Amino acid sequence: MPRFRTAVPLLAVLLLLALPAAAQMPGPHGPPSVGVAIAAPHRITETSAYVGRIAARHRVALLARVTAYLEQRDFVEGAEVAKGDLLYRLEQGPFAADMAAKQAAVAQAQAQLQNATLAFNRAQSLLRTPAGQPSLVDAARATMLSDAAGVQAAEAQARASAINFGYTEIHAPIAGKIGRSAISVGNVVSPGSGTLATIVSQDPMDVVFPVSLTDLLALRQRYAGAGGFGAVVIRIKLPGGQIYPRTGKLDFVDNTVSASTDTVILRGTIPNPRISDLKVGGATQRALIDGEFVTVLLEGAQPISLLAIPRAAVMTDQQGDYVYTVDAQHKVVLTRVTLGQSTATIATVTAGLANGEQVIVDGLQKVRPGEVVAPGPASAPMHATPTALSGAATAR
């Protein structure tokens, strides 16, 4: 009985060896399945990002125009002031006295002129009598003209004194936010004392940023048919990463390329309203601060149509970006592409692909160029809207 059980497996082995080789091989599994997406135009808002700085549109450094004691400061440091507000008051007594003396000198000069005018008229009337002498008339005329010049000089000195008296009050020349006072009350200030305080305008603000000449030419070409730079919308990403809710407009392109950086300075203007009624130490708060660094996002005012594919389909090697496409015979083809703007999910293609081509998205790791595959829809179909991509793209 044990001998019979041993003979059965041996017989099975001999029969297997006797079969043809083709019968021993497993059946074919067919070409590998891959998920593909169709390259098609999508409405996309293009965005380019640059590092910029917020700058006040108007900036004024307050200086003392005369030498005097600082008697009074009439503003809260860091608060917003209106144009014409009184900010500093200097000692006025010496200037008031000087102005009164100069006005008295004007009155004295006017009296002398009046007397000289009477003498001239008297000498001129005597010319019609035997007692009249032309030399006396000429002398009287000269005295009258000299006294008239004296009146003008006295009036000029009185005006200068009044101007100096006016300099004892320093008013805000613009509306804006005033900074810290550099000199406290009780000190003597003069034109050599330097800046007393600085006022910077608040609304709107400028944003200044450098753009490489290559990027500038590309931007100019991109928006040439859409109204030029007037079709560009400026968005700002704040240092904390938040997107500033207000948008701005580009209003200046410099006329010189920097020799050291090969960049051109661009400037835009953007609103900077108050943050509700929030105040810190009496100072009104706004989102944009003069001098802060921000990320400037240049967006097209209108979305444009660009050929787009899923970002997951794009691969990169030492030669650049490429994708795997499927031709009419279902063969895999390695296709080099030039990408435009990209997000985490979508990439735009500016060269290398045609509308309607099938791009492999799923199964990239199991295919090789020239291999026959079985294409099917990708697991995650591509969806793109102008809103979804607006402000999300970055310059490559």
The residue assigned the tokens 């960049």 is 263
Predicted confidence pLDDT, tens digits, the chain (396 residues): 444 444 445 444 444 444 444 334 444 567 888 888 888 888 777 778 889 999 999 999 999 999 999 999 988 888 889 999 999 999 999 999 999 999 999 999 989 889 888 888 887 777 667 766 777 777 888 988 988 898 899 999 999 999 999 999 999 999 999 999 998 998 999 999 899 999 999 989 999 999 888 888 877 777 766 666 777 888 999 988 889 999 898 888 888 888 888 899 999 999 998 886 655 556 678 889 999 999 998 877 666 777 888 888 888 888 889 988 888 888 888 989 888 777 778 888 888 888 888 888 888 888 888 888 888 888 866 654 443 343 333 333
Q: Which of 90, 53, 58 is nearest to 294 (CA)?
A: 53
pTM above 0.75, yes or no: no
SS (H, E, C) the chain: CHHHHHHHHHHHHHHHHHCCHHHHCCCCCCCCEEEEEECEEEEECCEEEEEEEEEECCEEEECCCCCEEEEEECCCCCCEECCCCEEEEECCHHHHHHHHHHHHHHHHHHHHHHHHHHHHHHHHHHHHCCCCCHHHHHHHHHHHHHHHHHHHHHHHHHHHHHHHHHCCEEECCCCEEECCCCCCCCCEECHHHCCCEEEECCCCEEEEEEEEHHHHHHHHHHCHHHCHHHHEEEEEECCCCCECCCCEEEEEECCCCCCCCCEEEEEEEECCCEEEEEEECCEEEECCCCCCEEEEEEEECCCEEEEEEEHHHCEEECCEEEEEEECCCCEEEEEECEEEEECCCEEEEEECCCCCCEEEEECHHHCCCCCECEEEECCCCCCCCHHHHCCCCECC
**Domains located in the chain, CATH noted:** 33-44+305-389 (2.40.420.20), 48-58+203-300 (2.40.30.170), 92-167 (1.10.287)
Pairing of strands 205-212, 188-189: unpaired
